[in-house]
Structure 1
Amino acid sequence: MSDFSVHAVLSNDDIMCDILLRLPPETIFKLILVSKRLLQVICGSYFRHAYLTKWKPSFHLVGFFICNTLYLGRRRDSARRPHSEAALPLLSTSGEGDDLEAFGALKRLGYYIDSSNGVLLCGRHPKAYYVWDPDTRKSHQLPRPRVHSEELCMAFITEECPFEGISYKVIRAKCQCRLDETKTVCIETYSSKTTTWSFSILSCQHPLSLSPWTFGRVINGVVHWYAAGGNIAIYDTNDEEKRIELVKLPSSFNYDEQALGETSDGHLQYGCSTKSGMEIWVLEKERFGLSEPVYQWNIIYKLSFKLMWRRNPTLATRFSTRTKETQLLAFIHRNSDSVFIRSDSHIFTYNSGTQTVEEVQYQGRASSFVWDFCKVVPYFRRVWPRSSLCESRNHI
């Protein structure tokens, strides 16, 4: 090949993208240092969308957001947040988390509601909602919802779009009183593509009542919410029939803590714990012919906290775990083997494969909040190169 033909190939975006799509992530991240040309191609929305579609994306832990349930759906006669307490506190576990905590714009976004692929949904129920993009560090305020609801369940969905960057949906589901269960759920959905709220009614074969102000889980556009009576409500946003299904949770004991997560192969996982131990389950869906899908819970493992600490004596002695209660905290993003647990104000990771416990180092207000009234939620960001050259392409 002549020098001219090589130059022509490398200057063609389509050919360059096709070549780069064949390289593994560790090689891609090194190429951004070669030239501005490669940096701009790799950081562009089109290539990022194509690459993440082909290759499994990786995520890293930025920190833990603290969500005080006393202020959710706050009425005039309920508890008010003191000015000395931050609305969006973060227990940072990284340098990026330190920068994020010091970033002034987050202080104006209200409370943490949810996150998806690193994009944050914040706001003050039930009127003001903001979407914040960590790549551009720009926020977008959603128009005011049309329907007023005293108690809500939320869901946040993002997806990569070629050329357009990130698009998203915000779902507000009305929670009925548990004593007045119905077979319908009213939802309001905001789409960044239409920039408007739309109202829908989801139908269910059985009476249900969503649990207000609980954290659900979205997997491939399917929303999983907690419901009364120890159930999970499942809503597929891609289903044009607007149905919601009810699946009984598998817990075999009266739990103290529970969490929802996503396995590495895209299934819903459920964990629950008591003072003595925890159980981890996976929900699998099977379809027989043209019949309705059948959901089946399969247990992954049971764990005794006492045995866990006995196998990790160094940490058990260092943190005096015999006198402190151990609890399940949350799942690690798209991880089938590890979970976050806590003992007192200390956070750890437990790996079921190696049966080892490791401490998670964090900076933050460990002594300024009461764990009993707060939900501590891990915040993960997708690992991807960023560049100011592409800010005009990657926007919300």
Structure 2
Amino acid sequence: MSLHLYTRSWETPLQAMTGQAWRHSQLLLDDEKACGAAIARHQGGKALPAFARERPDLAGIASKLGLAEGKEHVVVVGNGGSIRNVWALYRALAEGKAPRRLHLLDGTDPSGLFGELLSGRGGFSPRNTLVVPVSKSGNTENVVQETEILARRGFPALAVISSGPSKLASLVKEKKLDRFPHPDEVGGRYTAGQNNALLPLALVEGSAENARRLDAAFAAAHEKMAPTVPSAQNIAKTLALELWRAELAGCTELFLPIYGKALGGLGELIVQLVHESYCKEGKGQTVLCAEAPESQHHTNQRYFGGRPSMAGLTVRVGRFEDDPPVSEKVTAGGFLDLEHAGVVAEAERRGTPHMVLTLDAVTPEDVAGTVALWQWAAVYGGVLRGVNPFDQPAVEGSKQTTIEMFESYGPAIEKQLARFKDEAKVRLET
């Protein structure tokens, strides 16, 4: 596992702008007792987050591989961390290589995957598709409804849910579906190293080998990023401190170009980890994730030419497994790196804060290390801002409203839904 965080182009423009507040923050993270206590307040008195304490059931995962034999598709039903973590791992390690394809069902959009599953037009059938609903609460209404409808259509299912009572647990019992434990104490966005991400990945690959490698890598990374390790040797504390430094200087937006298609799912997970963990109480940063180098042809204009409220952090890969030449001297990966270097040079010329995170290669070890880095950076980001990095109070309100409207559906609810068209301020009609 080798990750490298380059901060020289970040520190120079920011070092004179944050003063004592940022230095006090560094002292807080380097105070093992104070930092651990800040985490423990939200973790039942334990200074180590649950995601760094819980381990997946690798033997149990291996025992379930037979459920996917003969299948072509694995459909994970869920939202947020229930799908973002496995998607990050799948895109990095298995997409285009595994004997099965992974699909995410995150809603009832009739023009999307849900419609394809029900109509058969996407080539999905109970014969070739395994459905894996994932939900910690077990009460996310669309997950329950989608699972029930697909089970009624005869799709085999393996549900990953917590041990307590829930709507999904009742459905699993009623339909006699297979189930697998979701860790009770680990919030969805922090579960990349847990059952609910590693099980679907193993089902797609037909092997638990990468799950084992990821588990070992997560354990090693958590040891290196724990509160006991000072910031000078702790890449997660360093990243959290630098992001906080930028926010104190007025950079409330983070441009996150990802140089490597395989890491696209990782970028989406980073967005969730940052937004849901420490964007609270009027604090935090908006993360704008984009595929690069394509982003250079549009969003660089915003980055360099818009309001000076945006800092940048690029993610790049040191070497690619397959790297064909584009000239006598430069490979495809090398040319991609030249495009990236041009962005960093422009940031330095303009004095725009810019960091670079490098993975040596797209391996289970480096991918796990990168996910763990952002998990810990999210936790330390919450500590620095004085907010709980493990809850998501602003997420729950709309979910509860949806449940209430669904359960009381009738003319009054239909009228509410129609207002967006019926009460439009202006129209275009031909």
The TM-score bracket by the shorter chain reads under 0.3
Larger relative strand fraction: 1
Larger relative helix fraction: 2
TM-score when normalising by structure 1: 0.22
TM-score when normalising by structure 2: 0.21
